[in-house]
Every structure is written in structure tokens, then in C-alpha cells.
Amino acid sequence: MKLVVVESPAKAKTIEKYLGGDYRVLASYGHVRDLPPKDGSVDPDAGFEMQWETYADKARQLKAITDEAKKADALILATDPDREGEAISWHVQEVLSKRRALPKSVERVTFNAITKAAVTEAMQRPRGLDEDLIDAYRARRALDYLVGFTLSPVLWRKLPGAKSAGRVQSVALRLIVDREREIELFKAQEYWSVAATMEADGTEFLARLVRFKGEKIDRLSIGDRGTAEAAKRAVEEGRFTVHSVETKPLTRNPPPPFTTSTLQQEAARKLGFSASHTMRVAQGLYEDGAITYMRTDGVDMAPEAISGARRAVVARYDAGYVPEKPRHYTSKAKNAQEAHEAIRPTDFSRERAGSDDHARLYDLIWKRALASQMSSARLERTSVELVDGTGQTALRATGQVVLFPGFLALYEEGRDDAEDEDGRRLPRLREGDAPVKRRVEAEQHFTQPPPRYSEASLVKKMEELGIGRPSTYAATLQTLKDREYVRLEKNRFIPEESGRLLTAFLERFFERYVSFDFTAHLEDELDDISGGRADWQAVLDAFWRDFKPKTAEIMEQKPSEITAALDDFLAPWLFPDKGDGSDARLCPACGEGRLALRGGRFGAFVACSNYPDCKFTRRFGQGGDDAAAGEGPEVLGQHPETGLDVVRKTGRFGPYIEMGAGKEAKRASIPKDVPELDLDMAVRLLSLPRTIGDHPETGKPITASIGRYGPYLAHDGKYAKLGGTADVFETGMNAAVVKLAEAAAGGGRGRGAREPLKVLGPHPRTEAEIKLMEGRFGPYVTDGTTNATLPKSLAPDQLTLEEAAQLIDERAAKGPPAKKGRKKAAAPRKAAAAPKKAAAAGKVATAKKAAPKKK
């Protein structure tokens, strides 16, 4: 019997079916061990020796693999065909070796698609583990560990509120912050356009002003209303005839099949998928045998796939839609390795695969790959110039006609920017024609700042700069969101205060390590390790020699010195020149103190130097906007019962209202859903909690209030969420009792009722019904036996049946959760410390075996 190890249970099930009874296929469920998150896991002084630790939740799966390996004649490592797949195979082999369960024969096989033909062919061409890829994995893992565990303590001690920093994520964050700075510094410029709606042969078309008073008109030439009105009158009074008609043939070639990054970009544009969701869905399609491997920067397809695509085009259209010769592509991306095929269907005759999001993504992949082998589109672009009798004023109309659609009949690539006017149809015009002028309009415009990055445009930019690799884009963006350094609004990235402050800190003190060129060069060196052109330990040593002293230097500085340096570095943004010669740092509240950056327990903020006499503060994220911080306290009026002033203020955590002073003062935050605050609303907010009345069953009071997580109802230690601030003041007894009852049915904390949010369907392997539920700690899926929490990266409304089933399978494989309060008996300290020297020697020996030096 031969034991085959792959990553996922879905992949294992499919492959075992292909191989038959002489093979046993088990899943490792991804990586089985990693560097433990503690100091000393990588030792730069010992040749970057690494101490690996198996995941506790993989114990059951590793035991199953170990038990089968002891009985097997051979071990076949069939993990994914990339660096991470090679690393998983290496880890499995190392674990089995330490457990003395490694069969005499160990082989490595790879396949680009999970089809019977691909798998059986791969089994005929086994090889050994690729030491260069394993070295590249070790280098990347050690590098990320050293950056994280060396830089993060500096952040925790010197930059309050910072969580961590990573090698690639910090550079991606800088891109987002730099774009936000561009937007804030952007000064809009007014300009006007003048256009006439003309008509010929019953067809209307638009002609724009391109010459006025004999001078060429560019986009920004007309900068005020007066000039625009004069130009408009000239067009209205002129009689325009066609002066020239210029027609040019145009050819559009199809784009290549998808790489990882272009798939993420196009899925974001056309399907609204996040990068991480795209990769989850693509993983499912790959494991189902529907598409080839989805982590690749290659853009060409195998010869047999190209032939299959050409046959599918002829069957769908006709022979005129395939070019005379097959198309071959090469990548234009920086640092492309092209080690694998592009992402394509495994069978071009299969037009559909999967359901829901899987079906939508497959359709995109199928159309793109098929279109890549179709004929070019032939178009005709026409430009018509119309001139008035004086020759001083001219209009131009442009348009294009599709003569032969070619690949456009099936697929057109999405765009991040708005379409231009060239796609408009024009009537047939000849020199001397005089189209009818229907109307003339002058329209005001303002130049726009560069757009914020979407997931698609950020991935594209990272690829252009050579930052990160196909397998890292999704994880990098997800990390930025999980750590709340950025937020997504209307599918665009906006940096949070913590993200801006972290970027400023890194640019000021670690400028080299967040520079785009340095990061791209380091990626090149890591690729050289993969190709056997560089020694991994030498690359790490060169990095560590500069990085370690720099972190030690910053660690020696006092937090006040760090804050002062950041205050100076961020001065152009925090205290921009007002343009009137006044002091940009002058406190707007007291008029005497000077504003400066301060560090607090919960992060940075701007405060007055006259504290505590002047308590003016401004949130760090408001930049130089003192108006947003408030021109000092604002008295809304006097409280009708106490006669005390009710004052609106702005603090480090946002706007609030205050009544009274000192310890007796009463305060309330101003909710975001209160658009306009007046005295009446302020008094109501200060009066909270509001007693609705006594519960008809218990006789105990029901109250409504606003807490840290929003508006809520409270009764006898139980809670229920309310929809908004208005509900706090409007909810009556009947509605309150119903909401509390619904909350109790869902677990007693108002997190939802017991009714499922969605019934996903029968489990594809056990046939048990899978439901999506709302739980106390967030949404989860259940098959009635096993509950699995949804990760933050997975949106409940986008969850598919296969994803839910895999979550349940993975949770079941981990075994029942450990009961709280029970701890394993600790070994006696002396007994554990006794064999210290022997244990240390064993670790060194293991590391040396795992990291052989290059010949």
C-alpha cells in the first residue's frame, strides 16, 4: 500500500477515487507545523536555526498520517505545485522522520490540475523534494518572523495603539496612506467644456469644442464661466460644416488567460469579490477538478489546452473566430516566474461548474481563457472635424464601429476607470455636410483627485512594483483589514488613524524597510533562492546585519523623543500652512498655547501646550482640520431642570456633551446617527438610561440606553440590541418585551433568534442539513453535530455550501473542544530542566539536517 498526502479532504477524496485501492490518500489540512510565536524561534547567531512546533489542532490528523505511514510501502507527497506546497511536503516528511514512521521510499509528485489524466501522469514522473524551494520558504518564513518579532516590541513600547508590522503588509499600507495624502493635498481646478448636440440622417451625436478664437482648446483651457459663455455663444452663432473625416482601422487583441493577480482584479471589478474570497472559491474549483492551479503568474496554456480552446471556439462560433496560428503569451509583470500554466478550465467543453459564487467565478475563468485563443476584434475609429465660416471655431466628434467582434463576442476586460466617448456611434458624414445643430451646452467641471485604491487596483499596483507574490496578495490585504489599519468604504481602502500613524513611524525611523525599491529587491533575492542562484542564509544575514542595529537604536529612544520626531515629520499634514501668515500651531481654543502631537494610552492625538488650563484636543486622524475638532466648547443652552450649561465638546474619542464640572459632571457621547444635535436631544442623551416600565411577568424594570456596542435594552441581567438611537427613546413596553424574548431565545444576549439565517443544503459527504446560524460570538455553521465559527474573512452572505462543509470537516477533524478550567499536570521543574543540554543538542542537530548548506 502507498500513502499519498495532500492538503485538503476534498482533494484527498477526488485523488483516492482516481488512484484506486492500492493507495491510501490522507489530508494534512494545510501546514502541520510552524515557528512558535515566541522569542528564540529563529536564532540568527546559529545560522538562522529554526525551532519548529507542530500545531496542536493537527495532532489527530498527524496521528492518522503517522499510523498509515508505518504500514505503507511508500510515501507520496502530492501537495500543491508551489513553494507553500513544497514546504508542507517537507514538514510532513520531517515530522514522520522524527517519529520514525518514514517509509523507505519517499516521492514527490505535482500536478497542475486535479483530473484523472493529470494525476495518473504525475504518478509516473515522481521526483525528490525541491531543496531550493524549501530554502526559499525557510528564508521567507524566517524573514517575516524576524521583522515581526523584532519590530513589534518596538511599536508596542514606542507607539501606543500599534499592533504589529509586517514586511510586505507595511509597504502595502504605505501605498494606501500615500494615496490618501495625495487626495488631501489635491487642489481642485475649475474648467469648462462646451459641446454641441448635432444631428445628421436622424442620428444625434456630440461634438466638442476644440478651437476657439483660432486657438486650440485643451481640457483645462477654459477656466471660468465668462470664457465658457463666450465660447458657447460662438458655437450657437456659427454655421458648422464638415471640414474633414478621418477613419482609422483599429485592432484589439484578447487579453491572456488569468494569473492569480489578474483573476483577483477582474473578480473584484465584475463580481465584487474580495481577494481572499476569490482565492477561497478558486481553491474549491481547483479541488473539484474544474480549473488548473490558481496560484500562478504564468500567462500561457499547455499545447493540449490551446487545442481544446480552439476546438471549443469553432464549435461555439465558426472557424473565422479562431486565428490562423495559436496565441502564445508572455508575462509583462515585474518578477514573473511563470513556473505554472495560467488559470484555465481543465475541460473547455464544460461551460458550467459549481453553483453560486463558484459558478460565477468559473464562468469568468472559462470565458477569459477561451477568449485568449480567439481572433482579434476589428474596429473602425472615425474622427470628424466641423468648422464654422470664420475658421476660428471648430468642433470634433469621435466614434467607433465594430466591424468584426472577434473575442469581444465572448469577453471584454473590466476597467477601473470610466469609459471614454470613442465607443459612440456616428452617422455617415462627408466633407461639406452641414449637420443640424440641436443645442449647445457649457458645463462646469473640477479636476478630481486620484481615486482611492480598490482591492483590484491595489493588487495591480503591488504587482507593478514587484511587491509580494501571487500567493501573498490576498493574505496581505486581509491582514490590513483584520488589524484595523484600513477600512473598506464603497470597495475603496481608507487608512485608519492607527494605519497612518504606523506608516509615519516606519517612514521616519525605518524608511529603507518600507521603500518600494528595497522591498522589490528583497523579493528578487528570495526568487533567486527559489531558483538556486542565492544562498538563503547569506540573504538573511545581509538583511539582519542592518535591521537589528536599527531596531536597537530606536528602542533606546524615549517615547517622548519618538513623539517629538513624529510631530516634526507630520507637521505639514497636522499643521498645514493657512495661507494668511498666521501660526498654524496656535491653539484655536485659548489663543495662546501651541498645538503639538501627544501620545496617549489609546494612541496619538493633538493637544494644547497650556494643558491642564486649556483642554483643547484634536484627534490625530483629523489632520489640520480644527473646524472638525470644534472651535472650542459650544454651549447649547441650559438644562431645564438643573439650570446648568449643556456644552458640546470634542475629545480624543470624538464629540460628546457635558453638563457640570469636575467629578460631578455628567457626560454622554454623541451617536453617529444623530445628524443635528440641539439642546432637546442633548438633554435626552444625558438622561439615559431611560426606564420603559416594569416587565409584566417579572415586575422588574426594562431600561433602554446606549453602550459601547450601540443602543440596547436591559432587563434582569439580560440584553437585546436596538436598531438605532431613535429606538432608545421610542421603544414601548410591547416591543421591548418581544425583543427581549427573541434575544433570550437566541442565547440570552440579543444576538439573534434560534431560526437559521440560511439553510445551505445537505452536506455533500454526510448529507446532514447545514444551517447558517447567528451565535453569541458571531455567525457559525452547523450540521446538527458539529459547529464551526465563520472566520472574519468570510462574509455570511457570500458563504457557499462547499465552504460551509469544509469548515465543518475541519472543525470535526480537530476533535471536541477542550473544556475550560482543566489543565494538564505540569511536569516537575527539576525533571524538565535536567536534560537541557541534550535537548539543545538535539535541536541543533535537527536544524542542521533541515537546513543543509549549499554546495
DSSP 853: P
d(CA 526, CA 518): 12
d(CA 720, CA 712): 6
Q: Which residues, other chains included, contact 66 with Cβ-Cβ below 8 Å and sequence gap of 6+?
A: 95, 96, 99, 101
454: number of Cβ within 10 Å:
18
792: number of Cβ within 10 Å:
11
Q: How many residues does the chain have?
A: 855
DSSP 15: H
- Name the catalytic one among 137, 286, 293, 411: 293
- Strands 105-108, 74-77: pairing is parallel
Which of 644, 634, 642, 565 minimizes the C-alpha distance to 599? 565
d(CA 675, CA 686): 17
633: number of Cβ within 10 Å:
15
CA-angle at 817, arms to 815 and 819, nearest 5°? 135
d(CA 301, CA 307): 10
Would residue 513 show up in a list of annotated catalytic residues for this protein? no
Is 110 in a helix, a strand, or coil? Answer: coil
Cβ(172)–Cβ(558) under 8 Å?
A: no
Which of 576, 572, 566, 676 minimizes the C-alpha distance to 626? 576
693: number of Cβ within 10 Å:
12
Half-sphere exposure of 77 (CA within 13 A, CB side): 26
CA distances from 696 to 136, 628, 715, 728 (A): 68, 46, 12, 20
> Which set of grid coordinates corresponds to residue 717?
441581567
Cβ(407)–Cβ(377) under 8 Å?
A: yes
**To which residue does cell 483599429 refer?**
250
Residue/partner pairs of 505-511 with CB below 8 Å, 24 or more apart: 505/155, 505/158, 505/159, 505/162, 505/562, 505/566, 506/165, 506/170, 506/174, 507/174, 507/569, 508/565, 508/566, 508/569, 509/550, 509/554, 509/562, 509/565, 510/151, 510/550, 510/554
Cβ(769)–Cβ(762) under 8 Å?
A: yes
Tell me whether residue 491 is exposed, middle or buried, using C-beta atoms within 10 angstroms of its C-beta: 0 to 12, 13 to 18, 19 or more.
middle
φ and ψ at residue 769, rounded to 5 degrees: -70, 130
CA distances from 685 to 672, 707, 720 (A): 13, 12, 19
User: What is the DSSP track for 495-555?
Assistant: E-HHHHHHHHHHHHH-GGGG-HHHHHHHHHHHHHHHTTSS-HHHHHHHHHHHHHHHHHHHH
Residues designated as active site: 293
